[in-house]
């Protein structure tokens, strides 16, 4: 019996010494008899990785981008013309803004345009925004090509940007940035309609002028 008590006490001490008291904190690794799959080879977020060598990813980034076309859980999959600017079930751009356009829409579009687009494209849409004074070039929105292209195309440029390129240090960007995340869908369509109004303002014909036609004629001829 004496041996049993001494032996039992020794075992208890041993267990406590190795396993610790319940709830005690330790920096040591837990003793795992069956490790199951607790420890996995992994890449820490934002760290470099060896995908380059293993998978030939080529960019050395630990955090991978989702595979193209990935749709996150709970995301609405909506490919209606209002979201894509393309006609239902085809790749063609919608000819006209699918939302109702009123004077209100144009006012809203003007407000948004003045906030987001004027620094580059200028208040009149002629591409003379303030940035041109700092050696940046933008686009004239009155180009014949843009006047003729459908509304859906303009919506797409505003949403996703245009002319993707890569800078000296290899970072991809668009010369014309996309505004999908900054301007709501409805406001992007309002901007499209406002651009149409801007374009229309430059497309007047002399015959359409009601008064002062003669003076205008002189100005035009004087040019």
Please give the structure tokens belonging to residue 30: 């837990």
Q: Is 61 in the site for ligand HEC (CB under 6 A)?
A: no
d(CA 178, CA 58): 26
Shortest gap between Cβ of 85 and ligand HEC (angstroms)? 12
Residue closest to 60 by CA, chosen among 170, 166, 165, 174: 170
Give the CA distances from residue 156 to residues 10, 106, 150, 151, 190, in Å, rounded to whole numbers and listed in that order.
77, 19, 10, 9, 13
Number of residues that bind ligand HEC (CB under 6 A): 21
Q: Is 146 in the site for ligand HEC (CB under 6 A)?
A: yes
Please give the structure tokens belonging to residue 125: 């849409």
Among 47, 102, 163, 217, binds ligand HEC (CB under 6 A): 163
Among 94, 158, 190, 198, binds ligand HEC (CB under 6 A): 158
Q: Is 62 in the site for ligand HEC (CB under 6 A)?
A: no
Answer whether 158's CB lies under 8 Å from 120's CB.
Answer: no
d(CA 191, CA 73): 31
Q: Is 191 in the site for ligand HEC (CB under 6 A)?
A: yes
Q: Is 154 in the site for ligand HEC (CB under 6 A)?
A: yes
Q: Is 193 in the site for ligand HEC (CB under 6 A)?
A: no
CB neighbourhood size of 123 (10 A)? 13
Shortest gap between Cβ of 109 and ligand HEC (angstroms)? 9
Among 179, 189, 190, 198, binds ligand HEC (CB under 6 A): 179
Answer whether 60's CB lies under 8 Å from 52's CB.
Answer: yes
Among 62, 111, 119, 178, binds ligand HEC (CB under 6 A): 119
Q: Is 138 in the site for ligand HEC (CB under 6 A)?
A: yes
CA 96 to chain centroid, in Å, comes to 24
Q: Is 106 in the site for ligand HEC (CB under 6 A)?
A: no
Q: Is 157 in the site for ligand HEC (CB under 6 A)?
A: yes
d(CA 158, CA 33): 58
Shortest gap between Cβ of 177 and ligand HEC (angstroms)? 6
d(CA 142, CA 128): 12
Q: Is 120 in the site for ligand HEC (CB under 6 A)?
A: yes
Q: Name the site residues for ligand HEC (rule: CB under 6 A).
A: 116-117, 119-121, 131, 138-139, 141, 146, 154, 157-158, 162-163, 175-177, 179, 191, 195
């Amino acid at each position: 019996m004496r041996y049993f008590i001494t032996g039992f006490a020794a075992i208890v001490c041993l267990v406590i010494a190795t396993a610790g008291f319940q709830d005690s904190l330790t920096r040591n690794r837990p003793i795992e008899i069956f490790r199951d799959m607790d420890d996995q080879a992994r890449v820490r977020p934002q760290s470099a990785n060896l995908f380059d060598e293993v998978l030939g990813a080529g960019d050395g980034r630990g955090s991978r981008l989702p595979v193209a076309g990935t749709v996150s859980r709970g995301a609405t999959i909506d490919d209606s013309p209002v979201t894509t600017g393309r006609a239902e079930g085809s790749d063609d751009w919608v000819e006209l803004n699918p939302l109702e356009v009123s004077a209100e829409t144009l006012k809203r579009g003007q407000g948004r345009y003045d906030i987001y687009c004027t620094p580059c494209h200028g208040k009149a849409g002629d591409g003379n925004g303030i940035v041109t004074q700092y050696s940046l070039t933008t686009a004239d929105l009155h180009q014949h090509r843009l006047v003729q292209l459908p509304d859906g195309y303009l919506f797409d440029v505003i949403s996703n940007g245009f002319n993707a390129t890569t800078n000296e240090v290899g970072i991809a960007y668009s010369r014309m940035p996309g505004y999908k995340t900054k301007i709501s869908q409805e406001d992007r369509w309002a901007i499209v309609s406002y651009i149409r109004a801007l374009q229309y303002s430059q497309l007047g014909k002399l015959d359409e002028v009601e008064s002062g036609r003669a003076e205008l004629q002189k100005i035009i001829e004087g040019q």
